[in-house]
Structure 1
Amino acid sequence: MKALGFGKFSLLGWSDGGITALIAAAKNPHLISKMVVWGSNAFVSQQDLKLYNAVRDVSKWSARMRQPMEEVYGAQIFAKTWEAWVDGIAQFAKRPEGSICLELLPLISCPTLIIHGEKDPMVPSFHPQCLLKHIKGSRLHLMPEGKHNLHLRYADEFNRLVEDFLGH
């Protein structure tokens, strides 16, 4: 963003992209105006490891969930990449408190909107609660029917929330 000439900007991050946004906002508070994260976590718990291992084998996924990724990456590459992701994210569980960026959350000073789908199978509700607790002045919006891809499934509501938050 600096190379593009932006002095200040807002961040939106989903899932691992949300983790990236959290880290960027903590390390560059003077650059970030506002931030929206969804489907994101700052640590990996033993419960998370069980969830990740349960979806490790993509051949057991429904065709609806698997097909878009296989179309982009090819079936074999997607399967190998996903297994590598599970192996990679699991490494954080070995760190104190399973931290990915837990210790950085208090450094975030920009207004932050956390959106969470209450039916998210990948990110249990204790994760957005943790973000809310540790990011000063953050707020949480729960979507009762939302899952991990709530920005796609409920695009109109999601876009309205984000536009209202960024516009004020």
Structure 2
Amino acid sequence: MPGVRTTDGVALHVDVRGTGAPLLLLGGQANDHHWWDPVRDDFAAAFTTIAFDYRGTGRSDKPDAEYRTRGFAEDAVAVLDSLGVARAHVYGTSMGGRVAQWLAADHPGRVDRLVLGCTSPGGAHGFERDARVRKSLAQVDQAAARKALLDLMYTPAWLARHDGPFTTLGDPTMPPHARRAHLSASAGHDAWAVLPSIGAPTLVVHGADDLFNPTANAPLLAGRIPGARLHLVEDARHAYFEEFHDVAGPLVLDFLGG
């Protein structure tokens, strides 16, 4: 479809697949819409799925400026507006879950049902990954850093059976300034104060063995959002939605009514 232009003039690439009620899919930090490729068909069979390349990724513009999760939520509104979608289900994972929190809090009339996957409220109340995890990801040896990220995303058993390509490890085409801006946006997220205002029926999903975004964030979110449900996917790491899609897919579809 033609590109969407935001209120500040940034062009965004949008990808729409499937038929049915609209479902906005929000992926992880420094990733484009291909984050959802391994599981997109699960949802496109029941919904019109809408995904877009965040500013700084994929085929969207990459301005050298400050990025914020709240700003990404405004970009999502621009995408919905461009498609004539007044109200949609929203499923955000990782940084996309942070964006989804703002979308549901700032634009309650636009969100039908909300799913927050492997994400965090951020700020002083959120649980951060520990120093060993941060150190493993900051290695100078890029092959070693990539292996560390894979191990945080997937279990050893799954990796032994899959050699890629992997769509959750970041958009390799991103310029350095955009990669830094995404990191800053995710790290600066803090929606704690607005979470109690979220009125959309909410499901919080998290891998029970997630060290990349510690599992302890899931009950924090579920306890802060009125009426939210919580489901931990046993044995799953950060990319629970892909490796354990046979569990997570039906769980989310059932919650969304699909």
CA contact (8 A) 2:137 2:148 kept: no
Between the aligned partners of 2:148 and 2:129, the Cα distance in structure 1 is 23
Distance in 2 (alpha carbons) for counterparts of 1:19 and 1:144: 22
CA contact (8 A) 1:49 1:90 kept: no
| CA shift for structure 1 position 86 | 8.6
**Which consecutive aligned stretches of 4+ in structure 1 deviate over 6 angstroms post-superposition?**
none
* Alignment gaps of 5+ in structure 1: 93-98
Q: Would the alpha carbon gap of residues 71 and 109 (structure 1) be closer, same or farther in structure 2, given more than 3 Å must change?
A: closer
Which residue pairs with 1:65 in the alignment? 150
Residues 130/86 of structure 1: CA separation in 2 closer, same or farther (3 Å cut):
same
C-alpha contact (below 8 Å) 1:43/1:100 kept by paired residues: yes
Indicate the structure with greater helix content.
1
CA shift in 2, pair 1:71/1:120, >3 Å? closer
1:32 match: 111
Alignment partner of 1:152: what SS? helix
Match of 1:106 in 2: 196
Q: Is the 8 A contact 1:27 1:107 kept in 2?
A: no
Of 145-154 and 122-131, more deviation after overlay is shown by: 122-131
For 1:129, which of 219, 233, 249 is the aligned residue? 219
Q: In structure 2, do the counterparts of structure 1 residues 102 and 150 end up closer, same or farther at CA, with 3 Å as the change threshold?
A: same
Cα distance change of structure 1 residues 7 and 72 upon mapping to structure 2, 3 Å threshold: closer
Q: Is 1:115 equivalent to 2:205 in the alignment?
A: yes
- Structure 2 match to 1:23: 102
- Structure 2 match to 1:52: 134
Deviation, 1:100, is: 1.7
What secondary structure is seen at the aligned counterpart in 2 of 1:137?
Answer: coil
Shift of 1:47: 4.2
Normalised to the residue count of structure 2, the TM-score between the two structures is 0.53
In the TM superposition, residue 105 of structure 1 has moved relative to its aligned partner by 0.6
Distance in 2 (CA, whole Å) between partners of 1:90 and 1:33 is 24
Greater RCO (CA < 8 Å, at least 6 residues apart): 1
Q: Deviations over 1:11-56 (max 9, x none)?
A: 0001001100111000011111101111101114574362434422
Task: Report percent identity of matched pairs.
Answer: 23
Q: Deviations over 1:94-146 (max 9, x none)?
A: xxxxx621112111100000001011111212211110111001000011111
Q: CA deviation at 1:85?
A: 6.5
Mark the CA change 1:49 to 1:41 in structure 2 (over 3 Å): closer, same or farther.
same
- Is 1:10–1:34's contact at 8 Å kept on the other side of the alignment? yes
Unaligned 5+ residue runs, structure 2?
Answer: 1-79, 152-164
* Residue matched to 1:95: none
Could you tell me how far apart the structure 1 residues matched to 2:233 and 2:192 are?
Answer: 24
